[in-house]
Structure 1
Amino acid sequence: MNKIWVFAEQVECSLDRVVLELLTKAKELAREMAGETEIAAVLLGCNVESLVESLGKYGADKVYLAESEELKLYNPSIYAPIITELVKEEDPDIFLFGATAIGSELCPTIAAQLKTGVAAHCIDMNINKDGKLVATVPSFGGKIVGEILCPDTRPQMASVKPGIFIQGEEEEREPLVEKVEVNINTENLPLKAISLNKKEIKGVPLDKAEIVFCGGFGLGNKENWEKLERLAGLFGGAVACTRPVVDEGWAPGEHLMIGTSGKSVRPKVYIGFGISGATHHVCGIKDSGLIISVNNDEKAAIFEISDIGIVEDLNKVLDQLLLKFS
């Protein structure tokens, strides 16, 4: 029997949305595989059994449940050995992780211990005619898209950013729960988790905004970024950016980035200013309802996926919009 696993990432007994998206994708992959396929979620934490029901409704046939007070806070020094041993015992074919702060650390750590490979930050997956996982990953700054296979080692591991795949509908189903024995020696751990402190994010969350104003390197300076923030505020929208804007110090942090190294969004309206249209950014906005782009280069790749393209100096457009709606 084929086995597809999904790491059920949770913080304070709340599942990350990418878990349900990956379970939905796992069901699609299962339909592409020959023979019977079992989908399982791997859930670690303290008093998290209440999450089992949701995992089942979104596709898990089985939930491997490890609970302990020592698992309350994520710690790679504890999580990785437990999951690694479980993989060795059960031998899954495919193991999927969210490309979150936790998943991006845990997935390659486990892969290294198992001496297998990882396709990181995938934008798509499918099963080929040989029954192997094919992971689609942007490369060279999004200029090309490559396909990655792990032909000889198991499990085939991959990570995906939240929002890349669509969360499916709930189904009434009750998964089998298999308790995982936890034996943790905390005396010689190289890392100890002490507390969890959440950072307050101002403004409308990107994943909930109906209108997103996104700035690229073409903004040119921090002053234009601040204009974009004011414009987003006038429309009750969210502000976002590409990586160069963060690298230049114009935007306050990576939490605003869209693309394979940031978030994927599905707003009703996306408006991009000074965006070139590299694949690694486009994959994060492709499901937007309406895409409007402003760029002074009529040959910019972003216009290929735009519903409305404005070839104009973005400085003029920003100033005119602020003048009209302020």
Structure 2
Amino acid sequence: MNLVDWDFAVTVGSRIAGPGPEVSADEAAAAVVELREGADRSTPLVSEFTGLRTTAGTAPVLVVDRAGWIQANADGFAKILSPIVDKLTEKKGAPSAFSEAIGSRVTGGEVGLMLGFLGTKVLGQFDPFFDPHGRLLLVAPNIVHVERELHADPHDFRLWVCLHEETHRVQFTANPWLGQHLLTQMNAVADTIEPTAILEGVRRGAAAIRGGDGSILDLVSSPEQKEILDRVTGVMSLLEGHADVVMDGVGPTVIPSVEQIRKKFNQRRKGAGTLDRMLRKLLGLDAKMAQYRDGAIFVRHVVDKVGMEEFNAVWTGPETLPSKAEISDPDAWVARVL
């Protein structure tokens, strides 16, 4: 059973995203070299600040274009969704070849629309599900586009992005159990899925979106699924907030214009147009922005209270990760874990 025509999704997404800003061959080559060097330079800076130790080169760094990012995420989504597809096939039975082809083509187009939009926005991403230890993706056209839009110093901005994304690579490679834990949570969603529940979830989600008070995340809304998503939200808030704290902690020591970059970058987030804001809401990106904010508040509060070394108990195992509720109540996490 093919739930999504991934090749079609990549084709649609790549066409929507386009190539990005115009750059000469020399400029493109220089950006690739500088981003690779920025990632390598960031590893010891992140390790020294956080106390997390990892072997250099454990997970590869790939500097990609928009189409490369879209292909990588289509591959990742296919891996994550495979247990869900297996469950649906078991419960519903195999569809006819015609209905499967039509259905997967339509779904592929929808996924392609989403990837095409995101492919113009994402600056970098750590993919923890790529065997054996994950990989770091830096999207060169988007980084160049934003640095030009902000009138930022290119060298400073590229290193600033690398610090954030390299923190994610250190988080996962220093704690190899973390990627498997997230994959386990994704697989747990498959165990909760019933075909009738999917149809009902689509109806609820569509109604919420039409009413302006929902997102695609509303399509996964059974009590069991919400419980799993709450756990994942806690983890993602920790990861994103921790990366922001590291970026702001290390940045002033190596990036002369970091204050101006942060100020302009935060202002840029607020200045999105109506269509951009609507798409961000539908894709749940507003929730992601909240993860950066809430996660950073959690990390700073705990580190200020007990120090970085004690805070690092958070990386011991699944049981020491903060819940979604504890992200909003750091003292509750301290009381439970420390």
Do they superpose with TM above 0.5?
no
**Richer in helix (by share):** 2
Q: Based on CA coordinates, which of the two structures has the bigger radius of gyration?
A: 1
Question: Higher RCO, 1 or 2 (CA under 8 Å, sep at least 6)?
Answer: 2
Q: What TM-score, normalized to structure 2?
A: 0.26
Q: What TM-score, normalized to structure 1?
A: 0.27
